[in-house]
Amino acid sequence: MLSVHTKPSPYGSTRRTCLTEHCRRNARQNHAMHTPYIRKVVKSMF
């Protein structure tokens, strides 16, 4: 998942779309589970 954010790849856009649709389908669950993780990753990156 990090590779999608850090460097553009031929599959990046397709992958992001799939992830977005998946998140939309399970919005409440994914938000609760992934938001803290993403924040942690972003903090560790910058």
Give the model confidence (pLDDT) of 7-19 as tens digits: 555 555 555 555 5
Indicate the pLDDT class of residue 3, thresholds 50, 70 and 90: very low
- Domains identified in the chain, total number: 1
Q: What are phi and psi of 11, to 5 degrees?
A: -95, 0
Give the up-direction half-sphere exposure of residue 42: CA atoms within 13 A in the CB hemisphere: 6
- Hey, what are 24's tokens? 């939309």
Give the up-direction half-sphere exposure of residue 14: CA atoms within 13 A in the CB hemisphere: 3
Structural domain boundaries, residue 16? 2-45
How far is it, in rounded angstroms, from Cα 10 to Cα 12? 6
